[in-house]
Amino acid sequence: MIKIISGNEIDKKLKEMTLQDVLFDKKKEAAVRQIVDDVRLEGDKAVARYTLKFDKVTIKPSELKVTSREINDAYKAVKDDYLRALKTAIKNITSYHKRQKADEWFETLPDDVILGMRNIPVDSVGVYVPGGTAAYPSSVIMNVIPAKVAGVEKIVMVTPPGKNGEIDPHILVAAAEIGVGDIYKAGGCQAIAALAFGTETIPKVDKIVGPGNIYVTLAKKYVYGEVGIDKLAGPSDIVIIADEDSEAEYIAADMLSQAEHDVESRAVLISTSMEVAKSTVREIYKQLKQLKRKMIARSAIENNSCIFFVEGLKKAVEISNKLAPEHLEILSSPPQNILEKVRNAGAVFLGPHSPVVVGDYMAGPNHVLPTSGSSRFSSPLSVYDFIKKQSIIGYTKPALKAILADIKVFAGVEGLDAHARSAELRFRS
């Protein structure tokens, strides 16, 4: 049974919930290193071997890349209403991300000094899309669209094949609709390694993005430095702030919508009403019976989730900021009253008719969000993740002479005489 926590127990529970050790599992890290190193050394051969081991699919290197025929077959397999919803989502997400493009700037200072900043897209990006037992076409569009808007020229997508050796048609159609041509049947650590180092078939990229399980996350952690990564994603989580006027039925449904992702997911309610808290518990167990993934959701609710009862909204926001959730729903009325006090949250959903699912699929903002408390220092996936900043410096001889003495001071303090000489020799007769 999910617990209602109040009073002196709150701080104890918060301390327990904010400890993160999943990314430092030595046994899992060792297993990941072995897989990544094998792919780095053996290429396609290792990818095929681990695909058979983990996905139970026999695949030849020549079969890794998705063909145009498979794309055509995928279009025949999906329904018209899916294609309609997909096109609407693509339109909304593209429109939102186009607002994120930052301007370059240049300025001329005295002595004709030029300073500036350029924005340069990453050359190539690898997108990991979870698959196998489930299909997540929303992950395709959320990861690819900001890269496209940023101007990335080469986008490579990898996703694990299902038991039949094929990729779900909804995923293939989503990729085709946004112009991804290089799609490969590979998942898990072996796919991350293939993107990081390249194989005979799968090209090496400059940055890897996209969510995955703990092994995918540890593989991204291991290859960081060889390539860039978006973030180290953990299980999905949600915090809901509610008052006495909030609907327990809505709260329970929204908590379960995140709990059904994974047994490690977390759903937290912070309520100023004990009656709403108790009603939510009843609703959770009532609605659980109706879910297809009830066993997963129940495990996440009973092992990782809880309800905090607090005296006021100020305390509710304080707890939320400590948890730094991936998703924050503010159901207290009006939600704008406490929005400015929210500092740590990946995405904030205002009011009873803005459930997280709206952001998952249709609203436009990215659903790839900082998890496991990392919204304290991290942001949603955006166009900026696919752009490199390049500093521009242009000095004239008079401008350099004006700061020569200061350069020599710094070089002297740091004991780097060649630094001083590189500037000073330009003024020798």
Any catalytic annotation for residue 326?
Answer: yes
Burial class (CB in 10 A: 0-12, 13-18, 19+), 54: middle
pLDDT(21) > 70: no
Q: What is the pLDDT of residue 22?
A: 62
Which of 21-30, 126-135, 179-188, 363-372 has the weakest average pLDDT? 21-30
- Among the options 97, 170, 261, 327, which is catalytic? 327
Alpha-carbon distances, residue 239 vs 192, 216, 324 (angstroms): 31, 25, 9
**Nearest of 265, 338, 329 to residue 303 by alpha carbon:** 265
Q: Which residues contact 218 (CB under 8 A, 6 or more apart)?
A: 23, 25, 28, 29, 32, 189
Q: How confident is the model at residue 134 (pLDDT cuts 50, 70, 90)?
A: confident
Between CA 186 and CA 378 the distance in angstroms is 28
Question: DSSP assignment, residue 200?
Answer: S
**Nearest of 99, 18, 128 to residue 375 by alpha carbon:** 18
Between CA 355 and CA 10 the distance in angstroms is 26
Q: Tell me: the pLDDT tens digits for 324-334? A: 999 999 999 99
Q: Tell me: the pLDDT tens digits for 261-294? A: 989 999 999 999 999 999 999 999 999 999 999 9
Residues counted in the chain:
429
Residue pair 162/132 in contact by the 8 Å Cβ criterion: yes
Q: Which residues contact 152 (CB under 8 A, 6 or more apart)?
A: 121, 122, 123, 124, 125, 386
Between CA 302 and CA 201 the distance in angstroms is 44
Between CA 122 and CA 195 the distance in angstroms is 15
Q: How confident is the model at residue 16 (pLDDT cuts 50, 70, 90)?
A: confident
Between CA 30 and CA 35 the distance in angstroms is 9
Between CA 54 and CA 175 the distance in angstroms is 24
Alpha-carbon torsion angle 229, 230, 231, 237, nearest 10: -150
Q: What is the mean pLDDT of the chain?
A: 95
Q: Which residues contact 235 (CB under 8 A, 6 or more apart)?
A: 261, 262, 264, 265, 266, 304, 371, 372
Q: Widest CA span of the chain, in angstroms?
A: 88
Q: How far is CA 33 from the centre of its chain?
A: 22
**Nearest of 305, 339, 344 to residue 326 by alpha carbon:** 344
- What are the phi and psi torsion angles at 277 (to 5°)? -60, -50
- Among the options 177, 264, 283, 326, which is catalytic? 326
pLDDT(94) > 80: yes
Q: How far is CA 241 from the centre of its chain?
A: 23
> ∠ CA 269-96-179 to the nearest 5 degrees?
115
pLDDT(378) > 90: yes
Question: DSSP assignment, residue 386?
Answer: G
State which amino acid sits at residue 147. Answer: A
pLDDT(300) > 80: yes
Alpha-carbon distances, residue 28 vs 35, 109, 218, 327 (angstroms): 11, 54, 8, 27
Q: Tell me: the pLDDT tens digits for 160-188? A: 999 889 999 999 999 999 999 999 999 99
Hey, which residues does 228 pair with through a beta bridge?
A: 207
The DSSP secondary structure of 276-335, one letter per residue, reads HHHHHHHHHHHHHTT-TTHHHHHHHHHHH-EEEE-SSHHHHHHHHHHH--SEEEE-SSST
Q: What is the pLDDT of residue 234?
A: 86
For the chain, how far is it from start to end, CA to CA, in angstroms?
84
Q: What is the pLDDT of residue 324?
A: 96
Higher pLDDT, 232 or 35: 35
Question: DSSP assignment, residue 104?
Answer: P
Q: Tell me: the pLDDT tens digits for 186-210? A: 999 999 999 999 999 999 999 999 9
Q: What is the pLDDT of residue 132?
A: 66
pLDDT(150) > 80: yes
Query: What is the reported pTM?
Result: 0.93
* Structural domains of the chain, with CATH: 4-20+234-376 (3.40.50.1980), 43-229 (3.40.50.1980), 395-427 (no CATH)
Residue with token string 């090496």: 204
Between CA 56 and CA 161 the distance in angstroms is 9
Q: Tell me: the pLDDT tens digits for 329-361? A: 999 999 999 999 999 999 999 999 999 999 999
Higher pLDDT, 16 or 246: 246
Residue with token string 């899309």: 129
Q: Tell me: the pLDDT tens digits for 47-87? A: 999 999 999 999 999 999 999 999 999 999 999 999 999 99
Q: What is the pLDDT of residue 233?
A: 85
